[in-house]
């Protein structure tokens, strides 16, 4: 994948050097290295029993059609791999628990960037807004150039590559990697909030297209 | 919760009696009792190590703010409880794997409808469209009347209460209930697809309001 062809030093910030100032503006919680390290040391590998489900192959087409029509928020998950920064677009990120702060997502982790994220001790979850459309596309399509000069980014002092155009960014460490068929379901503790506001117009993925929300898309005041 | 005050027989269909015809039109896969029963017999209770995360309480406010701005599709999960049909609105439903067909969601299952769903051998996942706004609100707010005459529903022959106004409906059996802090993360096998089309304008939850998607909300052709 393109991200793995990244030359160290070709991005905007050198390894490990975060420009001062920017971080202080967005951080609402100072980096909490100790809980992060404790969490990373305890990641559990669990398995969902699924070997008995072969009889359900016929359900797949209807399942795919139903979920293609189910909208989702869009995130880019980045991690530092042995060959440089990697990232992938994910539409399965959700909040699992606020106290303690746990998020969940799933991915197919056999190769490429997903395999690097699956093995990482920590990663950044960037929650995308409409203005991040270009990033969403680049990190969704294998082979697209990433972490180039047109995508400002930096390594955090803690090691993860941060995409600076994204306003809502969470640093997380895996608590559990749960094997469910060919997928890995992650539960991860959020150890730092690097930004939580964003533009107010989030990106939505639906029927293989990206949508934006605005006041005009509101149906009701909700709950 | 209101759903638990439901009088047997007060809904549109009596217990266990599914009106003929409607099911045949929407089903793309015939009810597959055998895999469902095998799956239900093997549900695993797993635990994500999270007891060491107390130091992260300060992250909660930023975490909540970031996820309030993260949009999500909306689903109603229903099950048959000892006192009648129950259901709840969930914004964490996502596709985990297509083959085998596995979906995921999380809930706080200590009491009420969520506790019934958590113990159910099978449930229905209704993926909502804009026209289901009223249902989404009713099943999101504790104490709101549900399964009344204004909400056409029926028990499927397999026992789960189906909301007939929803076009995309999946029958699922739990594979794993994963305790993550105060939440339960579910992985469930989809054993039947009762409908997979819907209206094409799905419901989205964002900043405590419901939105609808349409051609006007498209930003790009996506991937």
Q: Suggest the residue from B64, B131, B182, B219 to mutate for an interface test with chain A (most A CBs closer than 10 A).
A: B219
Residue B84 in domain? yes
Share of chain A above pLDDT 70, in %: 80
**What whole-number distance in Å separates Cα of residue A137 and Cα of residue A29?**
30
pLDDT of residue A35: 52
Q: Give the residue-averaged pLDDT of A125-149.
A: 94
Q: Which residue has the higher pLDDT, B160 or A27?
A: B160
Helix residue spans in chain B (DSSP H): 22-26, 33-40, 60-68, 112-119, 133-140
**3-state secondary structure (DSSP) of residue B148:** coil
Residue A20 in domain? yes
Overall domain count for chain A: 1
CB nearest to A94's CB, from B60, B106, B211? B106
Residue A219 in domain? no
pLDDT of residue B14: 33
pLDDT of residue B39: 53
Residue A103 in domain? yes
What separation in angstroms does the CA of A70 have from each of A125, A177, B68, B135, B212?
Answer: 21, 24, 19, 16, 12
The verdict on A100 touching B (C-beta cutoff 8 Å) is: yes
Residue B151 in domain? yes
The verdict on B115 touching A (C-beta cutoff 8 Å) is: no
Query: pLDDT at residue A202 above 80?
Result: yes
**What whole-number distance in Å separates Cα of residue A89 and Cα of residue B108?**
27
Domain containing residue B158: 2-51+73-199
pLDDT of residue B56: 84
pLDDT digits (tens, 9 = 90+) for B23-48: 322 223 334 455 555 555 578 999 99
Which range has highest mean pLDDT (B151-160, B193-202, B208-217)? B151-160
What separation in angstroms does the CA of A68 have from each of A171, A201, A206, B65, B109?
Answer: 29, 22, 6, 27, 28
Residue A222 in domain? no
pLDDT of residue A11: 33
B32 with A59: Cβ contact below 8 A: yes
Domain of B93: which CATH number?
A: 2.30.110.10
Query: In this structure, are residues B144 and B138 in contact, taking their beta carbons and an 8 Å threshold?
Result: yes
- β-pairing, B44-48 with B168-180? parallel
B209 with A221: Cβ contact below 8 A: yes
Query: pLDDT at residue A7 above 70?
Result: no
CA-atom Rg of chain B in angstroms: 18
Q: Give the residue-averaged pLDDT of A62-88.
A: 96
Under the banding of pLDDT at 50, 70 and 90, the label for residue B191 is very high
Contacts of B44 (CB under 8 A, 6+ apart): A47, A48, A49, B175, B176, B177
The lowest-confidence range among A41-55, B133-147, B179-193 is A41-55
B130 with A219: Cβ contact below 8 A: yes
Q: Which residue has the higher pLDDT, B111 or A135?
A: A135
pLDDT digits (tens, 9 = 90+) for B55-64: 887 899 999 9
In this prediction the ipTM stands at: 0.82
Query: pLDDT at residue B8 above 50?
Result: no
Residue A9 in domain? yes
Residue B89 in domain? yes
pLDDT of residue B13: 34
Query: pLDDT at residue B104 above 90?
Result: yes
B98 with A195: Cβ contact below 8 A: no
């Amino acid at each position: 994948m393109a991200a793995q062809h990244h030359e160290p030093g070709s991005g905007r910030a050198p390894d490990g050097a975060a420009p001062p100032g920017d971080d202080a503006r967005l951080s609402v919680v100072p980096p909490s290295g100790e809980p992060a390290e404790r969490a990373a040391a305890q990641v559990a590998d669990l398995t969902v029993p699924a070997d008995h489900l072969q009889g359900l192959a016929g359900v797949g087409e209807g399942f795919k059609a139903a979920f293609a029509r189910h909208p989702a928020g869009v995130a880019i998950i980045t991690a530092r791999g042995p060959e440089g920064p990697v990232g992938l677009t994910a539409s399965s990120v959700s909040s699992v628990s606020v106290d303690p702060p746990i998020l969940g997502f799933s991915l197919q982790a056999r190769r490429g960037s997903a395999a690097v994220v699956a093995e990482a001790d920590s990663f950044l979850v960037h929650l995308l807004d409409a203005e991040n459309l270009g990033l969403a596309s680049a990190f969704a399509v294998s082979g697209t150039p990433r972490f180039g000069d047109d995508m400002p980014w930096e390594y955090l002092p803690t090691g993860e590559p941060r995409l600076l155009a994204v306003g809502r960014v969470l640093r997380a460490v895996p608590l559990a990697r749960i094997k469910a068929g060919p997928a890995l379901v992650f539960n991860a503790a959020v150890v730092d909030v690097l930004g939580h506001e964003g533009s107010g117009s989030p990106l939505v993925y639906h029927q293989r297209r990206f949508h934006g929300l605005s006041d005009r898309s509101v149906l009701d005041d909700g709950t």
